Amino acid sequence: MICICCPLGCALTAVRDKEGEITVTGNTCPRGEAYAKNECLSPKRTVTTTVRVKGEAQAAMVSVKTAGEIPKDKIMDCIRELAGVEVALPVRIGDVVLKNVAGTGIDVVATKNIEKK
């Protein structure tokens, strides 16, 4: 598998032995090892998307992200839950837009500062 932790894109190999222990080779840093193990057991991703700004404002959308990684199979649920969310201005980076998205325990936060005009 290819590591997605940084632009290097190391080619990783993960082997699981009889006891269920996973050994990772090909990584050039500790993040690669953690990624490969996670990818075998429960792949996770940070989701970045946008939500609408409430009412008529100088910006139509606010960019957001999950404050941490969420399980890969919850990505579309996360997107669906955010579809109905609207944010009132002003908004600051880090403001929580939606708590505990898709039951993952992870919040969705704003990634842009937009003042109210």
Write out the two tokens for 15.
């082997």
| Positions 71 through 90 that interact with another protein (CB under 8 A) | 72, 75-76, 79
CA-to-CA distance for 47 and 106, rounded, in angstroms? 11
Question: Counting contacts by CB under 8 A, is residue 5 touching another protein?
Answer: yes
Q: Which of 110, 111, 58 is nearest to 87 (CA)?
A: 110
Choose which of 40, 50, 71, 89 interacts with another protein (CB under 8 A).
50
Among 14-22, 60-68, 96-104, the segment contacting another protein (CB under 8 A) = 60-68
If you search the block for the tokens 């139509």, which residue do you land on? Answer: 60
> If you compute the radius of gyration of the chain from its CA atoms, what whole number of angstroms results?
18
Choose which of 42, 93, 100, 103 interacts with another protein (CB under 8 A).
93
Question: Counting contacts by CB under 8 A, is residue 40 touching another protein?
Answer: no
